Structure 1
Amino acid sequence: MTAKKTVRIAFVDDDENLLSSHRRNFARLRPDWEGVFVNDPIAARDAIIADPDVSAVILDIHMPGMTGLELAAELRKARKELIIVMLTGYADLQSALLAVNEIGVFRFYPKPTMLETMLDDIETEIKSRLGQIEDTLPTEFLDLFELGVIAVDETLTILHLNSQGAEVLRRSSLVRSGPQGRLIIDPSPEGLTKFLVPPGKTVPRSHQSFSLERDGEKLSLLIRRVPKKADGKQSFMIILVDPAQQRPPAVDDLMDLFGLTRSEAKLTQKLAEGLALDQAAELVGISHSSARTYLKTIFSKTGVNRQPQLMKTVLSSIPSLR
């Protein structure tokens, strides 16, 4: 009789204290599993690729030499079946969507998250792949986001939603849950149907934004196409943004989201508050000519060319998971 294969997990983090904590807790929580602990992402990449018995990896997104996203991308190319869990202290939904949708990261957790939670989810995924349980997307994961998040299929039938999404459905007149659990969007934005079900041989777009407005009420929708699963079914993640409740992101968030320098991020934050360029420059402590120079760079990094577009982009950007 063949012995049951031991689950082997790799931990990758440049923080030695955190690695030591993982080592202690891992031995206590999963005494029948094996752990590999590496503080260098490049060494971890080589070791994990060479070791087919490693079934899952828990890695930090911010590491010197190679970021977690870069490491995850290389591991995914070499190990299609590898379960990748990512940790970050500066998490934002854009990075989460990139990691989950494009690289195939299994879960994206903010620091700190209990190791037991991550190991339980990995164990659930392993059992799911063995056909022992049905795969689901836990609402606890979606609840980490500050925005409303709703997962739907191509008929807009609601598959999952977080608590913030449920609250938007409860109070908004623009979106609601209808018969058979379908998401009703009223008024229906132009182009939505073509985005969900592209005609003919049209290449599907990965994401698209829509704006809803009626009787002074406004709501923005960012819809991301989720890669099809093995059963061929298409699903989407809808992010609900209420402009009236959005505050400009923190300076550190703007730096993370758009790659701005700290001075550029400070200026962007003030502009997003509705200040004129000269007023924003004075509050940040720079000259008007310097502010104009900064603004050109900010436009380039954020992909806009006018200040109103910059305000819209910043105010609809995804708040981080601090």
Structure 2
Amino acid sequence: MLRLINPGESRPSRMPQGLVSGGGVSMEFERLNALFDAIYEGPMEATPWQTALRLLQQTFGAMHVTMILRPPSSQSAGFMLNTDSAAADATESYQNHFFALDPFVGLPEDQVITPEELVGTGRWTSSALYREYLRPMNVEHLVGADLRTQEGIECRFRVSRSADAPPFSANDKALCRALLPHLKRAVRLHAQIDTLECERQLYAGTVNRMLLGTVSFAHNGDIIEINPEARRILNEKDGMRVQGRTICLDRNDEGRELQRIVRKVCSGAPVDPGLIEAMSVTRPSGRMNLGVVVKPAPVSSWPHDSSQRPVAVMFLRDPECSGKASEEAIRRLFGLTRMEAALAQCLADGLTVEEAAEKLNVKRTTARTYLRFIFCKTGVTRQTKLVRTLLNSVVALS
């Protein structure tokens, strides 16, 4: 007899019978293996677990299979995944109204249970959720489980059948129990991936706001990714540009030097921490040279070799492109008035006091009076130090 070991179990449990009617042990194993594959691949799908939910729907002969990753509340609509896109209206109804009337919540942890077992048949069939929500959709039978991870993540798993289908059997519930540990692990993986993606977007957004261009390279020197600021610089084709999957420079000597630096960093050869691989790139337009630094990407502890994993990152800086500081951020950070903040912003953008006065449509003497107020509030006494204070503050991140 084929046996299945659940994560966390020290002994094998018997394979739930009746997974596939008339398919034999090999077909039973293939179907169950496909379910496990889909569950663990689920966190990486564009819409998480859509493949797994469809397979579960087929396996259980269900109308709907639902995962509630964030329960609805009066402040939030929650996050629900469903097998049926046509059930969008029903999902919205539940999120906006019926979640507050649902007695089928707070299930014993990691147990597969029906509403009748939880609250009793009479109370369930007389509930508003059953009479006004499920019954009009022809949903008669329901089984579910609540998963809670050690990190505090909660997932509600629900499977429903129509009135024409049989109730959930002991074998159906046994299969659910066999799947729960795998669903829990997959939910934890999804949470970790989601956290990493949030951090990636946060840091990428910070780099973009600081107007720092980045280009990542694979081990063979091919470009993997270009951020918006680097793409802006490269699209100008003023000294450097993208050609195919490589960076090309207008000057041959500078091009050879950049290729040498990128090859060296991509080779994985030991790099002296005190040695910076940097160079400047001449711009034919006559504008100030671009600054370039190439550094190794952080090394993963996992010894895999992926062509899509960055091994080197090139940082680009355009010295003539200053970030547009947030006037509101300057005002709040240094306690300035709106006119003082506007003047400070002009100075940070490289204007003189006279140019700023003209732009703000005030007299030069008035602008200089505002400048004295700014000096007093920021604790500096020179205009150059004021500009340096603004540029080095968190205003650049606003």
Do they fold alike, i.e. is TM over 0.5? no
Q: TM-score range by the shorter chain?
A: 0.3 to 0.5
Instruction: Report the structure number with the largest CA radius of gyration.
Output: 2
* TM-score of the pair, normalised by structure 1: 0.42
* TM-score of the pair, normalised by structure 2: 0.36
- Higher RCO, 1 or 2 (CA under 8 Å, sep at least 6)? 1
Q: Which has the higher helix share?
A: 2
